[in-house]
Amino acid sequence: MVSLCLRNNGVLAQFFWSKEVIFTGNKTDREDREIPTHVGEDFAQQHDMYFLETSAKEADNVERLFMEIAGELMQVIFFLF
């Protein structure tokens, strides 16, 4: 559950909504990863989460992760106004 407080024209409104969780595996650039991809995928699927692996070192999927989050936030903002 996520809570968002917005002030519009002096009126404070608080909205609650449930959104999917993004389960992120990181350090995909490393060969000595402790958790294999399939374990993360299985965990995310069992818990109804979106799964994405990233590597900040190689800039792999980092922008995509932020764009997914930004897209969800934009949908909330458009819904509110």
Give residue limits of the domains in the chain: 20-80
The residue ranking higher by pLDDT, 6 or 47, is 47
Amino acid of residue 16: F
CA pair distance 23, 20, nearest whole angstrom? 9
Give the side-chain half-sphere CA count within 13 A for 75: 9
pLDDT in tens, 35-70: 888 888 898 889 888 888 889 889 999 999 888 888
> Is the pTM value of this prediction over 0.85?
no
